[in-house]
Structure 1
């Protein structure tokens, strides 16, 4: 019996499966726009087109990590929040600043 035979996949909820081998958690795969594979420490392995590719990445020992493309909106949203907070802080402090300048 090979390693693949000992791997058990269990559905945790719709679109989320967890892998175990010999009672040890190996990782999970979750369906989104693509299949997201995550290792036993909840570190992303990569995004895959098929369930089979994602499952193979979880159970493959020493699997190479596929680069995870980050959302372009993340840095943009952060910059907008910082700018808004800065503007609000200056507006709130303006009366005090105006008195100090006089």
Structure 2
């Protein structure tokens, strides 16, 4: 069977809390000092996005309003094995136009 590659699905809604907790556990395994948000805080953000690979949550992003800048900043977290695949740049683009 040929490898069909990664298919990333971007969704503009909160992931399931169980998926969120699984992603955070993986991130904390990679970096014990990672700064992580509580699920409720993330879901209350005004603009969020989630990246999935075949149903598995692999990344999260949110737009964060800044008082001194008209454009919001992006806060993006992606599993290490999915970095360097331009997922974060797609997420930034989508967050910036919403």
Query: Shorter-chain TM-score category?
Result: 0.3 to 0.5
TM-score (norm 2): 0.36
Greater RCO (Cα-Cα under 8 Å, separation 6 or more): 2
From the two aligned structures, give the one with the greater helix fraction: 1
TM-score (norm 1): 0.34
Computing the radius of gyration over CA atoms, which structure comes out larger, 1 or 2?
1
